[in-house]
A and B are shown apart, each in its own frame.
Chain A
Amino acid sequence: MNTAHYKTWDEFTEGIWRQNPVFVMVLGMCPVLAVSVSAVNALSMGLATLFVLVCSCGLVSLLRRMVPKEVRIAVYIVIIATFVTAVDYAIQAISLALYDALGAFIQLIVVNCIILGRAEAHASKNPPLPAMLNAAGMGIGFAIGLFALGAVREVLGAGTLFGITLFGAGFQPWVIMVLPPGGFFVLGAWLLFFSWLERRKLRRAAPPMEAGQHV
């Protein structure tokens, strides 16, 4: 029981940290770079992807025993496209300004490789609950990644966060950060930071491991 519980928890946290889609797997870069110009856009895109991911993985997992393998990709795409359409309507209903800001990238969630990847690699082999938990973890990880980029770019490039001005009138916005090159700069900086963290962890863990594992 304890191990099962641990496994479920692990399933959930995998996407948030160890296999973070943005910073570890570097997947779905197209929307990541394109919509992360502001914290609100990035977070909305992350939440939209999270919703599509959880719903489609749940449905794929429910249908997993009856989908013949020859048509599985077609079935997954239809299911994913369905939830993307639903999200598309929902965002239009919530805010047209947000809908315009996200542009074609909402529809393009259909071809986001994280979602099809999760459906194929995980949801089609696991019961609904673990599949949805894993998908939720991945979605949250994706949203965190997007938000990390969006917040930094908005603060540097516009001097605001969630539209609230952070600095005095003397602040000169670093405009390039909200332009496409800025996306690459900030993503590169975050990747550097995470690989530095990883190396430091390895260095710290190394000496005791060596001592313990001497044969």
Chain B
Amino acid sequence: MSEPSSTDKKVIPIAVAAPEAAPPESPTGAMIRTLGLVSAICGLIIVGAYQGTYDAVAANKRIATERAVFKVLPKAKSIAEFLAQPGGGILKVGAGETAIPAGSVKFFAAYDESGKLAGIAAEGVGKGYADNVRIMFGYQPDCQCVVGIGVVSMRETPGIGDKIITDKEFLANFTALDVKLKADLSALANEVKAVKRGSKTNAWQIDAIAGATITSRAVGKAINDSAQALLPRLVPKLDTLATKS
């Protein structure tokens, strides 16, 4: 209830130009001051949180990558990150650099305790049932084959598509999956592909999981695309990676 105005009678028609003061309104200055102050406090809190967690977050990311590589290459003890450039060069990536130049392929060289090359690990992406399936696979130069896979991220149906990380028969495909290059090293000799369960006849084929064909194919495609892009550049330079630099 507002107060009844008793001055109605005295109102002069011409004085309309100066309207009566509206219900108490906060001055603009106060609003700006408050918003400024609140933003300053919040900015300080965010900077504090960022600084306080920066090292832990970076360490976590490094550990997550290392763990993914060690899983596909069990003999590995340390890793180094490299880029395979379009022209065929191999570039070492320093700590803290995260941007990947267009056309380059990132991979990890894994070394054993004595500093000898234990294998190469790289990521691949394939379109799965729900979303992209990102996998990490280990490559063994001696046999020119894929020796293990791990999943980096996926949103496949629990209990169906996500069997690609638990199904032993499926994982047995990746003990020696053939990814040999052609004699002139220009491309893979055979396309890596998932085939219907039980119809695997060649070392470059993957026996799909029954009921999870799309996810199995995504894994095949991820390995194929990534190997196709990386190996022709990597294989000629392998000796430069033979020992830990």
Bound pair: A and B?
yes
Which residues of A line the B interface, CB within 8 A?
A: 37, 59, 63, 66-71, 74-75, 78-79, 81-83, 85-86, 89-90, 92-97, 100, 157-158, 173, 175, 178-179
Q: Which residues of the other chain, B, contact A66 by a CB distance below 8 angstroms?
A: 30, 34, 37
Bound: A93/B59 CA distance, A: 8
Task: Pick 12 A–B contacts, CB within 8 A, sort by A.
Answer: A68-B30, A69-B26, A70-B25, A70-B31, A71-B34, A79-B38, A85-B46, A90-B49, A93-B60, A95-B60, A175-B157, A178-B159
Contact across chains for A70 and B26 when beta carbons are under 8 A apart = yes
Contact across chains for A179 and B158 when beta carbons are under 8 A apart = yes
Q: How far is the CB of A25 from chain B (nearest CB, A)?
A: 28
Contact across chains for A158 and B158 when beta carbons are under 8 A apart = yes
Bound: A69/B39 CA distance, A: 17
Contact across chains for A75 and B35 when beta carbons are under 8 A apart = yes
- Beyond A75-B35, A90-B49, A96-B60, whether A175 also contacts B158 by CB under 8 A is yes
Contact across chains for A173 and B159 when beta carbons are under 8 A apart = yes
Contact across chains for A63 and B38 when beta carbons are under 8 A apart = yes
Contact of A157 (CB < 8 Å), options: B37, B48, B158: B158
Contact across chains for B158 and A82 when beta carbons are under 8 A apart = no
Contact across chains for B35 and A74 when beta carbons are under 8 A apart = yes
**Does B53 sit at the interface, judged by CB under 8 A?**
yes
Contact across chains for B53 and A67 when beta carbons are under 8 A apart = no
A-B CB proximity, top 9 nearest: A68-B26, A93-B56, A86-B49, A82-B42, A175-B159, A93-B53, A89-B53, A92-B57, A89-B49
Most A C-beta atoms less than 10 A away, residue of B38, B64, B160: B38
Instruction: Decide if the interface of chain B is mainly helix, strand, loop or mixed.
Output: helix
Q: A89-B49, A89-B57 are in contact. List 11 more A-B contacts (CB 8 A).
A: A37-B158, A63-B34, A71-B35, A83-B45, A85-B46, A90-B49, A90-B53, A92-B57, A92-B60, A93-B53, A179-B157
Instruction: Decide if the interface of chain A is mainly helix, strand, loop or mixed.
Output: helix
Bound: A74/B26 CA distance, A: 15
Contact with A along B124-143 (1 / 0, CB 8 A): 00000000000000000000
With CB as the reference atom, state the residue of chain B lying closest to A158. Answer: B158
Bound: A96/B64 CA distance, A: 8
- Beyond A96-B60, A158-B158, A179-B157, whether A71 also contacts B41 by CB under 8 A is no
Most B C-beta atoms less than 10 A away, residue of A89, A90, A100, A178: A89
Contact across chains for A59 and B158 when beta carbons are under 8 A apart = no
Which residues of B line the A interface, CB within 8 A?
A: 25-26, 30-31, 34-35, 37-39, 41-42, 45-46, 48-50, 52-53, 56-57, 60-61, 64, 153, 157-160
Contact across chains for B39 and A78 when beta carbons are under 8 A apart = yes
Q: Which residues of the other chain, A, contact B50 by a CB distance below 8 angstroms?
A: 89
Q: How far is the CB of A16 from chain B (nearest CB, A)?
A: 27
Q: How far is the CB of A186 from chain B (nearest CB, A)?
A: 15
Q: Which residues of the other chain, A, contact B53 by a CB distance below 8 angstroms?
A: 89-90, 92-93
Q: How far is the CB of A100 from chain B (nearest CB, A)?
A: 6
Q: Which residues of the other chain, A, contact B37 by a CB distance below 8 angstroms?
A: 66
Contact across chains for B30 and A96 when beta carbons are under 8 A apart = no
Q: Which residues of the other chain, B, contact A92 by a CB distance below 8 angstroms?
A: 53, 56-57, 60
Q: Which residues of the other chain, B, contact A179 by a CB distance below 8 angstroms?
A: 157-158
Q: Which residues of the other chain, B, contact A63 by a CB distance below 8 angstroms?
A: 34, 38
Q: How far is the CB of A95 from chain B (nearest CB, A)?
A: 7
Contact of B38 (CB < 8 Å), options: A78, A94, A96: A78
Most B C-beta atoms less than 10 A away, residue of A68, A69, A79, A100: A68
Bound: A197/B57 CA distance, A: 45
Contact of A68 (CB < 8 Å), options: B31, B45, B61, B157: B31
Contact across chains for B60 and A79 when beta carbons are under 8 A apart = no
